[in-house]
Structure 1
Amino acid sequence: MPIIYTCRHCMNEIGRLEHQVVESTMLGFDQLSIKEKEDMIKYKSNGDIQITSICESCEETLGHHPHYHELDFFIQ
């Protein structure tokens, strides 16, 4: 059951954890609200867990173009 981190904007894989057992508190999931968990964490039918986050490149782009925060997706 890998945990796969994916960028919400460019959809690139940011990273992957291949551990068999991982405490959700170690990953900081306990710090998220219920809404944030619903938006960020997806459980796949094959057992994978997909975490939607933001990569460094997209974060930098948002820093240079703050009005992009208004958009759901800014990469076409």
Structure 2
Amino acid sequence: MKIIYYCRHCQNRIGEVDGSHATEARLGLSSLTPDEAADIITYNSIENSTYVKTVCEYCQEALEAHPELNLLSNPLQ
């Protein structure tokens, strides 16, 4: 199973991990609450992939430089 990371704001693909050797604990996903996990992790059984929302460096820098963007529902699209 592939684990694919993508930016929650700009939707760009950030990276991919071969899930056959990765566990939720090793990836830090086991520390999420059920609500956080539901918001961040999406499973796609057809593609046999797991998608994880994160924030890319570009969007992180933009949000830090302009914190008012956090008030918008889609700040960087």
Structure 2 length as normaliser, TM-score?
A: 0.90
- Larger strand percent: 2
Tell me the distance in 2 between the aligned counterparts of 1:68 and 1:11: 16
Aligned residues: 76
Tell me the distance in 1 between the aligned counterparts of 2:43 and 2:28: 17
Identity of aligned pairs, percent?
37
Tell me the distance in 2 between the aligned counterparts of 1:26 and 1:72: 31
Tell me the distance in 1 between the aligned counterparts of 2:63 and 2:31: 24
Tell me the distance in 2 between the aligned counterparts of 1:49 and 1:74: 25
Instruction: State the 1:28 CA deviation.
Output: 0.6
Unaligned runs of 5+ in 1: none
Residue number in structure 2 paired with 1:30: 30
- Larger helix percent: 2
Tell me the distance in 2 between the aligned counterparts of 1:35 and 1:67: 25
Unaligned runs of 5+ in 2: none
Q: Which runs of 4+ in 1 moved over 4 A?
A: none
Q: CA RMSD in A?
A: 1.1
